[in-house]
Amino acid sequence: MPTPEIRTKDAPPAGRSAGVRIGVWGFALPLLCLALWYLVTGLKLVPPLLVPSPTATFRRLVGLFLHEHLTSDIGATAWRWGCGYILGCLIGVPFGLFIGNSRKVYAASYPTLDFFRSLPVTALFPLFLLLFGIGDSAKIAMAFSAALFVVILNCAYGALQAKETRLRAARVFGASEWQVFRWVVFFEALPQTLSGMRTSLSLCLVVVIVSEMFIGTQLGLGQRVFDAYTVNDTEKLYAVLVLIGLLGYLINRGFVWAETRIVFWTGK
């Protein structure tokens, strides 16, 4: 008695789309901010020395690219950012998953990790200077530390939250502990893992910029911000800040784009 189709009592669950669409409205607020910026500077409500006009800022930004090797600064900052971030993820993800895989290990290490996560790495820059000197390695190490703890904690939490039912299903079908980890825990933790990686991506950029400002360097966006500040060149200051903001925003958007495709099943 072949049944042509399975009839069921309940309908498929109405899934909510995981990612919120930005759409046209997402551009309304930035445009409003820009308009406000024009207004405030155009009506001379604040002295131009404190807030330069958008036109001057963007003109200056183009000038920085053309005459003041800004591309090399971006490159130098991106290199430190990328190195610190990638190292942090390479070590943090497996370590975090391992910690979250066992309730006992998680309970034993959580307070310590939370303590280190709560320490502002930027406040520890003297320590990094002592340990790594004034070169790139200190800045990379700072970015690495910032990424590391955020990634570890997120991965550990994600693994800890793995659904007991799915772990049980795998065990019933004969999975070893490693297979349970590889085929279930890893995927259960993946949404939280990526969310941690996204958070630490922005955090890492901030840390690299600040470390460049504090420690000093030849090339780097933080150094340009610092230069501008010391000579009261607010146009340049704003130009670099706008660039940093745009850079962080674009990378984050790219990450979100990839994330919703990788963990396509969340929120469904």
Partner 1 sequence: MSDRPLYIEIEHASKAFGEGQKRNVVLRDFSLDVRKGEFLTFFGPNGCGKTTLLNVIVGVESLDEGSVKMNGGTSRPRVGYVFQDYRGYLMPWLTVAENIAFPLRIRGVSKPERMSKVEAVVARFQFRIDLGAYTYALSGGQAQLTSILRALILDPDILIMDEPFSALDYQTNLSLYEKVLQIWEATGVTILLVSHDIDEAIYLGERTVFLTKRPASVAAVLESKLPAQKELTQMGSEAFASMKKQALEIFRREALEKSA
**Site residues, partner 1 (CB under 8 A):** 1-13, 15, 163, 165-166, 168-175, 179, 183-184, 187, 190, 263-265, 268
Nearer to partner 1, 8 or 112 (CB): 8
Packed helices 103-118 and 136-160: angle between N→C axes, nearest 10 degrees: 140
**Residue 216 zone, left/alpha/beta (φ > 0; ψ -120 to 50; rest):** left
CA distance 224 to 214: 12
Nearest 5°: the CA angle 117, 123, 126 is 120
* Of 18 and 87, CB closest to partner 1: 18
Nearer to partner 1, 94 or 267 (CB): 267
Name the minimum Å distance from CB 105 to partner 1: 21
Burial (CB count within 10 angstroms: exposed 0-12, middle 13-18, buried 19+), residue 14: exposed
Tokens standing for residue 6 = 């399975």
Residue 115 or residue 183: which is nearer to partner 1 going by CB?
Answer: 183
The helix (H) or strand (E) run that includes residue 237 is helix 234-262
Shortest distance, position 183 Cβ to partner 1, whole Å: 7
Q: How far is the CB of 100 from partner 1 (least distance, A)?
A: 18
Taking a C-beta distance cutoff of 8 angstroms, is the pair 254, 6 a contact? no
Q: How far is the CB of 3 from partner 1 (least distance, A)?
A: 5
Alpha-carbon distance of 82 to 213, in angstroms, equals: 18
Taking the C-alpha atoms of residue 142 and residue 53, their distance in angstroms, rounded to an integer, is 34
State the nearest-atom distance from the C-beta of 9 to partner 1, in Å: 6
Q: How far apart are CA 51 and CA 86, in angstroms?
A: 36
CA 106 to CA 87: how far, in whole Å? 22
- Cβ proximity to partner 1, 253 vs 268, nearer residue: 268
Instruction: Report in angstroms how near the CB of residue 1 gets to partner 1 at its nearest.
Output: 5
For residues 7 and 104, which CB has a smaller minimum distance to partner 1 in the complex? 7
Whichever of 163 and 253 has its CB closer to partner 1, that residue is 163
Rounded least distance, CB 182 to partner 1, Å: 10
